[in-house]
Structure 1
Amino acid sequence: MPWFRAAGSTSNAGDREERRSTPIGAERDPKRVVAFSDAVIAIAVTLLVLEIRPPEDTRHLWQGLRELWPSYAAYFLTFLLIGQMWVNHHVMFDHIRSADRLVLLLNTLLLMQIAFLPFASAVLASAFESGHGERTAVLFYGIAYEVAAILFNVIWEYARRGRRLVDPATDAAAAAAISRRFRPAPVWIAVGTLLGAWHPVLGIAVLAAFVPFYWWPIKGEIASIRRARERAGGEPAAS
């Protein structure tokens, strides 16, 4: 009887571990997820330029074009930030071998937030053009990015937990390197947003500084790809 109870206990523990490590819903090839995401992101960056309205007074066209500088600045910053999201989305899904139901849901929420960014960018530009509501506009803009940054972290950490959905070729060091790159983003954006609520230009400067840092390659990920190719007998990846 003691053996039976121990065996039953071990079996139950195994069942609990299996439930914890089993993805939610059927696993699917992430290629279609990436293709759909690329399409949504492409539409989002295209919509950015449509928010720049040409001056109505063509008699003073040059002056009118100069006065649109907040729209140009918002377009430039937001395009680079969304482009950065596109790159890091590929970084993430290059290491995810399959997507379960929760990954699909979280990715849908992320795309919904990215599609919202052209509106947030238009609000920001309009406030700086009018000279009114800049603090609120920066706060609104920052919150939109904050939600996207949080969703990035949630998707990746969920996928890598227990290595359930991560490609077997992605070692623990590479997964940790990607996490280290993603984790500071919500804090960085939150700081910029709060500073923007106090001093709008300073807040935008902090958010803009986010761009070069997150375009920088992830060294741990590159090293992992090199090791995987070397194990497979291929050429080492370029650094």
Structure 2
Amino acid sequence: MPWFRTASNNSTAGDHEDRLSNPVGAERDPSRVVTFSDAVIAIAVTLLILEIRPPEDTRHLLKGLRELWPSYAAYFLTFLLIGQMWVNHHVMFDHMRSADRLVLLFNTLLLMQIAFLPFASAVLANAFESGHGKRTAVVFYGISYEVAAIQFNVIWEYARHGRRLLAPTTDSASAAAISRRFHPAPVWIAVGTALGAWHPVLGVAVLAAFIPFYWWPIKGEIASIKRSRERAGGKSAP
């Protein structure tokens, strides 16, 4: 698949002119961006397990394994949260027809933050294992996710602005549904982080509650896809 996206037969002359006049550089096929991003995210979740060190005292191995529960919890929480980012990253780029220079920059910054998360997870686990610095660790962990959540919104809203980078099959209702899903994330994480500065366990619980909500399907996006398929089926019918 070519790196530079070429105009399709269905593209209008106006669309082609808009691409050529893009002030932030030529627009590229987003599939390469997704492939590279998948690789970085896969490495990040793999690094999580490397942060869990087996007990050194094998004479009391069972006790040592039990005492590692904060590492198991941090691994579980962070793996699912990064998994959410992977899913939402595909949601974004599945609805984008192209990526310009700013998208590439924003996405690089997002990947840099995702690659940082295993370290934040290790800090959180170590603090709960030692019993010291738990408030600071939760705040540090929360801020790490807060930055990533803001970056997601920046990428999507930039791509959505004026529909310049969105796929023709993505209608306004679908784009708005995705925005409604992304927008609460920074607020939710900020609340969990603030609560963690007061009560670390409560802060982690609020951040963990983030998981089921963001794994839930985006109804507006699904409805839009169904409408697009119905229209396509109607056009192809004899």
Is TM (by shorter chain) over 0.5? yes
TM-score under structure 1 length normalisation? 0.89
Instruction: Report whether the alignment pairs 1:24 with 2:55.
Output: no
State the Cα distance separating 1:23 from its structure 2 match: 5.5
Give the structure 2 partner of residue 224 of structure 1. 224
Looking at structure 2, the residues matched to 127 and 160 of structure 1 have their Cα atoms a distance apart, in angstroms, of 40
Quote the Cα distance in structure 2 between the aligned partners of 1:97 and 1:227: 19
- Residue of structure 2 in register with 1:123 after alignment: 123
Aligned to 1:10: none
Residues 1:34 and 2:37 are matched in the alignment: no
Unaligned 5+ segments in structure 1 are 1-17, 235-239
What is aligned with 1:237? Answer: none
* Secondary structure at 2:173 match in 1: helix
Q: CA RMSD in A?
A: 1.3
Name 2:14's counterpart in structure 1.
Answer: none
**Deviation at residue 24 of structure 1 after TM alignment:** 1.6
Partner amino acid, structure 2, of 1:171: D
Number of equivalent positions: 216
Amino acid at match of 1:68: L
Decide whether the 8 Å contact of 1:22 with 1:164 is kept in 2: no
Question: Matched residues, percent identical?
Answer: 88
1:13 alignment counterpart: none
Question: Counterpart in 2 of 1:3?
Answer: none
Q: How far apart, in 1, do the equivalents of 2:23 and 2:228 lie?
A: 25
Separation in structure 1 between the aligned mates of residue 120 and residue 74 of structure 2, nearest angstrom: 9
Aligned ranges 1:160-175 → 2 under 5 Å: 160-175=160-175
**Alignment match, 1:100:** 100
Structure 1 distance, partners of 2:24, 2:186, is 26
Contact 1:26 1:101 (C-alpha < 8 Å) held by counterparts: yes
Q: Which amino acid aligns with 2:40?
A: V
TM-score (norm 2): 0.89
CA contact (8 A) 1:149 1:185 kept: yes
Q: Which runs of 4+ in 1 moved over 3 A?
A: none
Q: Distance in 2 between matches of 1:98 and 1:134?
A: 43
Structure of higher CA gyration radius = 1
Runs of at least 5 residues in structure 2 that lack an aligned partner in the other structure: 1-17
Partner of 1:12: none
Distance 1:83 1:109 in 2: 18
Aligned to 1:59: 59
